[in-house]
Chains A and B, each alone.
Chain A
Amino acid sequence: MKKVEVLAPAGNLPSLRAAVDNGADAVYFGFRDATNARNFEGLNFSESEAVQGIDYARRHGVKANVVLNTFPQVNDPSPWYRAVDAAARLKADAIILANAALLRYCRERHPQLPIHLSVQASASNAEAIRFYQRHFNIARVILPRVLTAPEIRALHEKIDVELEVFAFGGLCVMAEGRCHLSSFVTGVSPNIEGVCSPARAVRFENTDGKLRTRLGGALIAEYAEGEDAAYPTICKGRFEANDRVYHVMEEPGSLNILEILPQVIEAGVSSLKIEGRQRTKSYVGTVTKILRQAVDAYYEAPGAYRAKPAWLRALNATSEGATHTLGTYEESWQ
Chain B
Amino acid sequence: MKISMGPVLFEWGRTALKDFYRRMAFETAADVLYLGEVVCSKRQGIHLDELEPLVRELAPSGKELVVSTLGLVMSDEEQENLHRLKDLAVGMGLKIEANDMAGIGVGEGHALVAGPHVNVYNPATLDFLQEVGVVRMVFPVELPADSIAGIIQAPRARPVEFEVFAHGRLPLTFSARCYTARAFRLSKANCQYKCGDFPDGLITRTQEGEGLLSMNGIQTMSEKVHTLIGEVVRLEALGVELVRLSPQSRFMSEIVAVWRDTLDRRLSPEEGLAKLAEFNGGEPFCNGYFHNKPGMSYHRP
Residue numbers of A with Cβ under 8 A of B are: 71-75, 77, 98-101, 104-105, 121-128, 130-132, 134-135, 145-147, 151, 154, 173-175, 177-181, 183-187, 189, 191-192, 216-222, 234, 237-242, 245, 248-250, 328, 331-334
Contact = CB atoms under 8 A, between A and B. Distances in A.
Interface residues of B, number: 71
Interface in B19-63: none
A242 B124 CA distance: 44
B187 A222 contact: no
B163 interface: no
A221 B184 contact: no
Interface in B192-215: 202-210, 212-213, 215
B72 interface: yes
B179 A248 contact: yes
Contacts of B146: 74-75
Interface in B78-92: 78-79, 82
Nearest to A72: B122
Contacts of A72: 121-122, 124
24 contacts: A71-B122, A73-B121, A101-B122, A104-B128, A121-B101, A127-B79, A127-B82, A130-B105, A135-B132, A147-B176, A154-B76, A178-B117, A178-B119, A180-B173, A180-B295, A183-B295, A187-B288, A187-B297, A219-B208, A221-B207, A234-B213, A241-B183, A333-B187, A334-B188
A74 to B, nearest CB: 3
Contact of A245 (B123, B151, B207, B288): B207
A272 B184 CA distance: 34
B183 to A, nearest CB: 4
A181 B173 contact: yes
Interface of B: 72-76, 78-79, 82, 100-102, 104-106, 108, 117, 119, 121-125, 127-129, 132, 140-142, 146-147, 150-151, 154, 170, 172-179, 182-184, 187-189, 202-210, 212-213, 215, 220, 222, 288-289, 292-297
Nearest to B294: A187
B140 to A, nearest CB: 8
Contact of A175 (B104, B141, B174): B174
Nearest to B183: A242
A323 B215 CA distance: 25
A186 B293 CA distance: 7
A132 B101 contact: yes
Tell me the dominant secondary structure on chain A's binding face: mixed
Contacts of A99: 119, 121-122, 125
Given A187-B294, A240-B207, A175 B173 contact: yes
Contacts of A174: 173-175, 220
Tell me the dominant secondary structure on chain B's binding face: mixed
A249 B212 contact: no
B101 A131 contact: yes
Given A127-B101, A154-B76, 5 more contacts: A125-B78, A184-B172, A216-B294, A245-B207, A249-B220
A131 B172 CA distance: 25
A181 B296 CA distance: 10
Closest 5 CB pairs of A and B: A131-B105, A74-B150, A101-B124, A127-B102, A71-B121
Contacts of B187: 331-334
A129 to B, nearest CB: 9
A146 B70 CA distance: 15
Contacts of A125: 73-75, 78-79, 100, 102
In this complex, the member of A123, A183, A239 whose beta carbon has the largest number of chain B beta carbons within 10 angstroms is A183
B175 A173 contact: yes
Given A239-B205, A241-B205, A101 B101 contact: no
B195 to A, nearest CB: 12
Nearest to B189: A331
Nearest to A121: B101
A123 B101 contact: yes
Contacts of B79: 125-127
A198 B111 CA distance: 39
A87 B208 CA distance: 47
